[in-house]
Amino acid sequence: MAARINRNIYRGILILSFLAVNGLILFGISSVLSYLNTGADRTSMLHLEVEREDVYLPNVTWEDLQNPGRPLEKQTQGEIERDYLSSWYVKNIAYKTNDYYGVKDYYTDSARVKVYKTIDYNLAHNINLNTTTLSHNLSLDFYSADGKLAVVEDKNVVSFKEVFEADKMVLQERDTSSYKAILLLEDGFWRIRHLKKIINDTVAAQEKVAIDYSNIKNAKGLNYYPKDSPWNMFGKKFNPFTIHLDFELIKKMGMNTIRIFVPYEAFGKASIDYEKLDQLKRILDIANKNGLKVVVTLFDFYGNYDVSDWTITNKHATIIVNALKNNKALLAWDIKNEPDLDFKSRSSTTVVNWLKQMIVTIKNEDVNHPVTIGWSSPEAATLLVNELDFVSFHYYKKISDFEKDYNKLTVKSQGKPIMLQEYGLSSYSGLWNFYKGSEVDQADYYKEIQPILLKNNIPFLAWTLYDFKEVPSEVAGSLPWRKNKQHNFGFFDINGKEKSSYNYFSLQKNKKGE
């Protein structure tokens, strides 16, 4: 009996090892074959055009194409622009890494030596530059008859650079310089032959437009996401009808303002998703119909801030700002939600520099609407007061400290309007807060804070209209005690029923209830 079992075991082992060896052999052969099949793909024979990735998109304008040589063809103009900008891009990268890579494609033999020498010097002295250019104003001085030489003037190039020595920042500056460049067409590339820094053109200072702050000062409202698609209201989940009903409801509550968010990546970064942009316009139109003003918060879920990414974010902002700047419902631009929370991971200087330049970019495009930043706390809100048109802060701390904190901020706000852009209390009650929260607590919170806000004429935007069934983990992280709280900040529960906080928040006293 035992011998038979033994024999069966041996058989089993034999069969299994046979199968295993076969499997291994097959696996080996197939991986050799698949290795041999890698590399030259048949389509590579077609030399299909390689798609250029958007890595560097400074704002470029052409002023003047008149030149005594040959009329510039549209095609060549595009090529000159592309290669000239590439010359800046490769140079920026080369100085960042102190590596020659790419320089020879966009500088002629004699010109590249000058770049190389600078790289060598910086390498020897442990210097790195983190540079980008934000705008170029090109004009053509000369284009030769045979189409192989062009002299281009690039006026008032706005650039930003961070200069590091031994990884320590020595200087950061925003700079405006002008250049004259001779470009030669070599091997199909327009390459820099000479580059000479010249005197800037004097630019007429932009006329300051007086912004009307009355709507900011009287803003009463809340942060808005639809009930069923929080943090994800664009694209397939966009539902104008729901939004219309919600806006009606908000108006009925006696509110006049909402704050919405434009997710950066979902909107396609620099190559804007125009379908979503249309939806955004639609939201503002619906708001306008319902007599609501809108604070548009840009760059939601953005977190890079690096100098090399500036032109991409600028392009994104420029397109959105231009699409909405004439919309009557637009109240203000909020550059980013709680950027101060990224100070730890991205360094405060990087974030603040990005914000600073973004303020300038947006104001360049739209002089009529005020610009703010939704700081996460009254302490952070003292940053960039000079540059911003009004101060926004979020408050999730104890109400008892509110007036003290607010007064402190008033002192530092240089008389600019201050908006309480987010506040509220979650009615979440569960394991993660020991069943401590409740709708009653939430109602009490509003019962207490609303009179303070109204008494001090503080514009406010509460968080938020609805309780949410689902909260993406990008919003509050995946820690359950944080995430769960996010579900229950609304004045209406997930079934759309009024919670008791509603009565203390709504300015229109409840007609049906009482």
Partner 1 sequence: MVILEILNNMKNILVLLFVFGILSCSSEKETEVKPDKVSNDFKFNDLKKEFLADETIVFISESKINSIDLLPKLVVTNSFGTIIVGGEIANAGVQYSLPKIITRKIGLVDWKLVDESIVLQSGTFEILPNISKKNGLESYFGPRSISAGDIDFSMLVVIPSDVYDNPVLDGTTVELRYQFENDVTDVPLETDDLIAWYNVGAPHKSGRILVTALCNGVKSKELTSIVFPANATTFKIDYTRDHAYADGNQIIRFNTSIIKDEFGNVISDGTLVSFTAVNTKGIQLQAVGLSIGGVAIAKMLHPDKKDTWKVKAYVTGAAKSNAINVSFKTAFDDYPVNISKDNRRIIVGPITSFMNQLAPDGLLVRLAINDSDKQRIETKVSTLQNGKVMYYLDPDFYPDGNYEIEIKSAGIVKTYNLNLDGSTD
* Minimum distance, C-beta of residue 67 to partner 1, in the bound complex (Å): 9
Q: In whole angstroms, how close is the CB of 159 to partner 1 at the nearest point?
A: 10
Q: Is the peptide bond before 464 cis (omega within 30 degrees of 0)?
A: yes
Question: What angle, rounded to 10 degrees, do the helices at 348-365 and 310-324 form?
Answer: 40
**What is d(CA 139, CA 76) in angstroms, rounded to the nearest whole number?**
14
368-to-205, 211, 213 alpha-carbon distances in Å: 16, 6, 11
CB nearer to partner 1: give 177 or 288: 177
Q: Which is nearer to partner 1, 150 or 298 (CB)?
A: 150
- We find the least distance from the C-beta atom of residue 171 to partner 1, in angstroms, to be 5
**Number of neighbouring beta carbons within 10 Å of residue 50:** 6
Please, which residue, 9 or 171, has the CB nearer to partner 1?
171
Cβ-based nearer residue to partner 1, 83 or 153: 153
How far apart CA 437 and CA 475 sit, in angstroms, is 21
Query: How far is the C-alpha of 297 from the C-alpha of 408, rounded, in Å?
Result: 25
Nearer to partner 1, 11 or 117 (CB): 117
**Which pair of tokens denotes residue 61?**
């304008």
Nearer to partner 1, 139 or 304 (CB): 139
Nearest residue to 231 (alpha-carbon basis) of 489, 491, 501, 429: 489
Q: List, as one string, the DSSP characters of 218-244.
A: T-EEEE---SS-TT--SGGG--HHHHH
Residue with Cβ nearer partner 1 (241 or 434): 434
CA 162 to chain CA centroid, Å, is 21
Residue 140 or residue 458: which is nearer to partner 1 going by CB?
140
Site of interaction with partner 1 (CB under 8 A): 68-69, 91, 95, 110, 114-115, 117-119, 121-122, 125, 127, 129, 131, 141-142, 144-146, 148-149, 151, 153, 161, 163, 165, 169-173, 175, 177, 179-180, 182, 184, 193-199, 344, 431-432, 434, 481
The tokens for 43 are 């389509």
Our CB check for partner 1 shows the closer of 122 and 350 to be: 122
Kindly provide the residue ranges of all beta strands, DSSP E only, lying in 264-354, ordered along the sequence.
Answer: 293-300, 330-337
List the one residue out of 373, 365, 242, 250 whose CA is nearest residue 300. 373
| Type of residue at 172 | Q
**Calpha distance 360→217 (Å, rounded):** 23
How far is residue 436's CA from residue 438's CA, in Å, rounded to a whole number? Answer: 7
Q: Decide whether 115 or 335 has the Cβ nearer to partner 1.
A: 115
Alpha helical stretches, state H, 168-309: 214-217, 240-252, 274-289
Cβ 185 to partner 1 shortest distance, Å: 10
Cβ density class 476-505: b for 16+ within 10 Å, e for less? beeeeeebbbbbbbbbbbeeeeebbbbbbb
Nearer to partner 1 among residue 118 and residue 308 (C-beta): 118
Q: How many of the other CB atoms lie within 10 Å of CB of 322? A: 11
CB of 2 to partner 1, least distance (A): 48
Q: Which of 138, 137, 139, 145 shows the shortest CA–CA distance to 71?
A: 145
Give least dist CB 433 to partner 1, A.
Answer: 10
Q: What values do phi and psi take at 394, rounded to 5?
A: -110, 145
